[in-house]
């Protein structure tokens, strides 16, 4: 700890875990980013201490953390007095044993002088961000935005209906009114029940999180607010015939820009999520390998789950696309939503959608269907899709050559046009011109 802050923070040597397992981040890419973020945050906290700029919520959080490290629970002075004289004497004894009776911050924390912070709904989101700071530090800016926006919308809806109350003054009646407001909207506007439940769920979780952080016995107020009858609808898959004969028909995608077309080809032949495909880089596109492949790894963003990390061989039009863009897709990096909207509009405007319910994400489901048609076992399909599967995991999983054998059965080969530099077509496959026939795809 810097010398100038030692009188402001009694912790001395500060140890903070990144909470990232070595196995899930072997190159320490995420861990390094998180260390930098935590260090910046810690120095910012010390600077605020030095300036006296802490908010009431931050002062209260600091007081609770102090007493927690002493093995005590935080109670206000009124609560301690209500427990009896013995409770106050116990606290004084702790201060005397630690010889900190002149440390005003510790005295205030131990004796419960720091008041519980009172937060209104409009000021709640920064508190929720603070509680989730480690989780958010692993996300790319676009992922943070997508995490914050639905919570911001839920708060806005709640405040518009109930008013900007303090959370401690929010009643069960207020929360039920919010639920009933959503019931009316679902009926009158023919909205999905799932849409309402997502909004309600954000209010429930944020309220419960705040109550736990502030040691308020109010979590019961948000119980059983979700609406019943929600149906989980999966985006429909395109039929393999529609994919090959309509979407990938010669000339169908000619008016797309190069990156869009390449990404659609990659998604079709690898089953990557849009967010995974748009964030491929020269580190994750591996062409100089006996089996060219892409790696889904955590570089500067958080993966959905641990099993999302995987390697997928490149065949057919996916291999060609990566050869044309070996360094990735800067135009759409961290912009999966933009890509999705753009491709969906193109497919609709050009009559390439199979139905009104289809979207580009359905290509991932089509990929899974095509794998199943090959007779591939569930473990191999899960390995390619990035799913965790069911039951315990044993061994190292499917090897690249096993995955390649499966993907070659469903590969869509490129249309006859000039291949990438140093390659040529031979019997529908792409080969190195200089190697005399080293097959890279198909």
Residue 79: the pLDDT is 84
The model scores a pTM over 0.85:
no
Residue 404: the pLDDT is 92
Residue 112: the pLDDT is 85
Residue 110: the pLDDT is 87
Which residues, given as ranges, of the chain have pLDDT below 70?
A: 1-21, 23-24, 37-38, 40-57, 233, 299-307, 389-397, 414-442
Residue 4: the pLDDT is 57
CA gap 260, 383 in Å, rounded: 26
């Amino acid at each position: 700890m810097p010398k100038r802050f030692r009188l402001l923070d009694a912790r001395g040597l500060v140890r903070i875990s990144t909470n990232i397992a070595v196995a899930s981040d072997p190159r320490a890419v995420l861990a390094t980013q998180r260390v930098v973020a935590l260090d910046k945050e810690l120095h910012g906290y010390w600077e605020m201490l030095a300036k006296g700029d802490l908010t009431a919520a931050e002062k209260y959080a600091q007081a609770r953390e102090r007493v927690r490290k002493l093995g005590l629970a935080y109670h206000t002075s009124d609560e301690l007095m209500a427990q009896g004289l013995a409770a106050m004497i116990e606290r004084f004894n702790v201060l005397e044993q630690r010889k900190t009776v002149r440390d005003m911050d510790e005295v205030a924390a131990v004796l419960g002088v720091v008041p519980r912070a009172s937060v209104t709904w409009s000021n709640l989101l920064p508190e929720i961000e603070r509680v989730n700071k480690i989780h958010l530090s692993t996300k790319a800016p676009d992922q943070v935005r997508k995490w914050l926006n639905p919570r911001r919308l839920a708060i806005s809806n709640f405040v518009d209906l109930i008013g900007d109350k303090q959370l401690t003054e929010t009643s069960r009646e207020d929360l039920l009114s919010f639920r009933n407001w959503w019931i009316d909207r679902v009926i009158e506007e023919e909205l999905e029940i799932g849409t309402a439940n997502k909004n309600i769920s954000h209010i429930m979780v944020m309220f419960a999180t705040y109550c736990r952080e502030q040691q308020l016995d109010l979590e019961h107020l948000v119980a059983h607010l979700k609406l019943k009858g929600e149906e989980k609808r999966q985006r429909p898959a395109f039929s393999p015939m529609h994919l090959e004969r309509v979407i990938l028909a010669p000339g169908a995608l000619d008016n797309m820009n190069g990156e869009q077309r390449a990404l659609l080809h990659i998604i079709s032949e690898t089953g990557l999520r849009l967010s995974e495909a748009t964030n491929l880089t020269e580190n994750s596109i591996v062409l100089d390998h006996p089996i060219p492949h892409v790696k889904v790894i955590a570089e500067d963003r958080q993966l959905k789950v641990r099993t999302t990390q995987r390697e997928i061989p490149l065949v057919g039009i996916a291999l060609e696309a990566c050869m044309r863009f070996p360094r990735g897709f800067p135009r759409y990096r961290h912009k999966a939503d933009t890509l999705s909207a753009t491709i969906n509009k193109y497919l609709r405007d050009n009559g390439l959608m199979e139905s009104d319910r289809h979207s580009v994400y359905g290509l991932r489901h089509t990929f899974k269907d095509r794998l199943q048609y090959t007779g591939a076992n569930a473990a191999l399909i899960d390995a390619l899709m990035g799913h965790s599967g069911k039951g315990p995991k044993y061994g190292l999983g499917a090897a690249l050559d096993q995955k390649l054998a499966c993907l070659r059965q469903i590969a869509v080969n490129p249309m006859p046009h000039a291949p990438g530099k140093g390659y040529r077509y031979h019997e529908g496959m792409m080969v190195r011109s200089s190697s005399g026939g080293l097959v890279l795809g198909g």
